[in-house]
């Protein structure tokens, strides 16, 4: 089974009655949901139920067979299933669901985690080469037909992207929820969806979510009719045209927004009449607790159509935001909310990089005896220097490279000028030859044609033409040759 570390955080039951509407784990993300890209990599045994049932976003259903992971009986050791999480993240707790399993549930379970490259190979013992499993939850007893909401007193400091559920010794579990906080990809660059759960976004609060969970707004993929539980955020009927509902999303990171998208796919006839979007900046998780927080309206109230993706340009280059607020009128359902933009941290790093490059240029110019405020001369040309070359080359190599680039540009320029002159010379020679040939060659004889419908006009024209030719002086061939 691999090495297991013995240092454990302490856990407690977050909902002993199985009836609490909210609890200490309510605001965390299910990292092990297939809705955000999680998948079961391998399982030791799937005799009576597939391990893929563990990561379904919907609740267990009563049907023929098991809507759960169920292994064979009389296992002499343990059974296990390895799950690759949808996003790497820190872990705050677990939801081990055995609903629908009465007599077939596992008697005890434990959970381990590790951080490994995506797509890592899992061997026949449930181990990953080069990764060490850390025990997140020790061996605990579980009951039939129950939620087991087990919260850690302190969330893990280290992130994980693989977990291993172990059954002692065998049995079944319907659903496994790994509840935690997404660690956003620090290498993400350019315009990204800052309101996506995989970017670290989280729905802080909503006025109502009677018919559809608020967390569905920030799922990465578009909604589908196959899974009603992930179709979108949907509120109850308000019975008043003056009412409104809202949902507040904390962006994965503060950023400069460029585009907002409101998607009503799967909602046709029960979408809101209209919607607007506001934004603010605060360091607090919930802006409602910040008395100095001010909401800016970045998308005015617009009409929403069913089964349609609505895109609105909100390019705001000067104001960063940390939260957005979707307001719908009067009620209804919205499947997805997107807020595209660029991270503030990325822009700051880019500005720092440009500043460092400018400082390197100034230092190089000073060492070469050049004034950085004046254009470079032919003796010591100045050109932009890339950061990678500064890191990989010495100053002498850098100067040599700059000279080589200058020489290459000059050769290219001279080659272009020579090509242009050659073309002009050929064109001039061709035109001169045509002129000389036209002057030295005898005039071609012209054939006269007459039409029956213009006989009289042709006759008069021929007479006038003969009179004109009689007054014209013929050119001498000698004079033409001299020209």
CA-CA-CA-CA torsion sign (27, 115, 157, 83): positive
User: For residues 427 and 17, what is the distance between their CA atoms, to the nearest angstrom?
Assistant: 95
DSSP 184-205: --TT--SSEETTSGGGT-EEEE
Residue with tokens 């976004």, as numbered in its chain: 201
483 residues of the chain, pLDDT tens digit each: 444 544 545 799 998 887 777 889 988 999 999 999 999 999 999 999 999 999 999 999 887 789 999 999 998 889 999 999 999 999 999 999 999 998 999 999 999 999 999 999 999 999 999 999 999 999 999 999 998 999 999 999 999 999 999 999 999 999 999 999 999 887 777 899 999 999 999 999 999 999 999 999 999 999 988 888 899 999 999 988 789 999 999 999 999 999 999 999 999 999 999 999 999 999 999 999 999 999 999 999 999 999 999 999 998 778 899 999 999 999 999 999 999 999 988 877 777 877 887 787 777 777 766 555 555 444 444 444 444 444 444 445 555 555 665 665 676 566 556 555 555 555 545 555 554 455 444 544 444 433 333 333 443 433 344 434 334 444 443 343 343
CA-CA-CA-CA torsion sign (223, 228, 234, 238): positive
Interacting residues of 53 by C-beta distance below 8 A, sequence separation 6+: 60, 66, 67, 68, 69, 174, 175
What pLDDT does 480 receive? 36
What pLDDT does 448 receive? 41
- The 10s digit of each residue's pLDDT in 40-78 is 999 999 999 999 999 999 999 887 789 999 999 998 889
Interacting residues of 169 by C-beta distance below 8 A, sequence separation 6+: 75, 76, 77, 78, 79, 107
Q: Are 195 and 262 in contact (CB under 8 A)?
A: no
Tally of CB atoms within 10 A around 19: 7
What pLDDT does 445 receive? 44
Predicted TM-score (pTM) above 0.95 = no
């Amino acid at each position: 089974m691999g090495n297991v570390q013995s240092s454990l955080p302490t856990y407690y039951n977050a909902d002993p009655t199985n009836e609490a509407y909210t609890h200490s784990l309510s605001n965390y993300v299910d990292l092990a949901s297939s809705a955000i890209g999680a998948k079961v990599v391998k399982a030791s045994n799937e005799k009576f139920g597939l391990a893929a049932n563990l990561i379904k976003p919907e609740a267990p259903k009563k049907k023929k067979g098991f809507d759960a992971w169920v292994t064979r009986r009389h296992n002499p050791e343990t059974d296990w299933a390895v799950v690759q999480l949808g996003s790497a993240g820190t872990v705050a707790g677990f939801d081990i669901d055995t609903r629908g399993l009465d007599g077939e549930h596992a008697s005890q379970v434990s959970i381990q985690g590790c951080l490994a490259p995506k797509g890592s190979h899992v061997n026949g013992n449930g181990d990953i080469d080069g990764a060490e499993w850390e025990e997140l939850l020790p061996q605990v007893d579980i009951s039939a037909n129950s939620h087991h909401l087990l919260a850690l007193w302190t969330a893990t400091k280290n992130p994980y992207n693989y977990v291993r559920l172990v059954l002692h010794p065998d049995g079944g579990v319907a659903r496994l929820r790994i509840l935690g906080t997404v660690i956003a990809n620090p290498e993400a660059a350019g315009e990204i969806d800052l309101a996506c759960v995989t970017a670290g976004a989280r729905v802080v609060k909503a006025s109502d979510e009677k018919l559809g969970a608020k967390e569905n707004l920030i799922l990465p993929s578009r909604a589908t009719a196959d899974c009603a539980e992930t179709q979108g955020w949907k509120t109850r009927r308000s019975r008043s045209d003056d009412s409104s509902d809202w949902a507040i999303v904390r962006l994965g990171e503060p950023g400069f927004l460029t585009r907002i998208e409101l998607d009503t796919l799967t909602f046709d006839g029960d979408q809101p009449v209209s919607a607007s979007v506001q934004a603010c900046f605060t360091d607090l998780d919930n802006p409602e607790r910040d008395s100095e927080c001010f909401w800016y309206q970045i998308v005015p109230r617009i009409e929403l159509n069913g089964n349609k993706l609505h895109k609105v340009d909100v390019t705001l280059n000067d104001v960063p935001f940390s939260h957005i607020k979707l307001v719908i009128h009067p009620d209804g359902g919205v499947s997805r909310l997107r807020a595209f933009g660029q991270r503030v941290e990325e822009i700051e790093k880019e500005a720092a990089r440009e500043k460092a490059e400018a400082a390197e240029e100034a230092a190089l110019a000073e060492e070469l005896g050049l004034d950085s405020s004046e254009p470079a001369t032919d003796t010591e040309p100045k050109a932009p220097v890339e950061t990678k070359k500064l890191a990989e080359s010495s100053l002498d190599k850098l100067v040599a490279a700059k000279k080589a680039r200058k020489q290459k540009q000059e050769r290219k320029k001279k080659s272009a000028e020579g090509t242009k002159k050659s073309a002009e010379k050929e064109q001039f020679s061709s035109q001169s030859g045509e002129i000389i040939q036209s002057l030295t060659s005898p005039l071609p004889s012209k054939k006269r044609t007459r039409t029956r419908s213009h006989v009289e006009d042709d006759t008069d024209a021929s007479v006038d033409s003969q009179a004109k030719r009689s007054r014209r002086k013929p050119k001498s061939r000698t004079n033409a040759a001299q020209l």
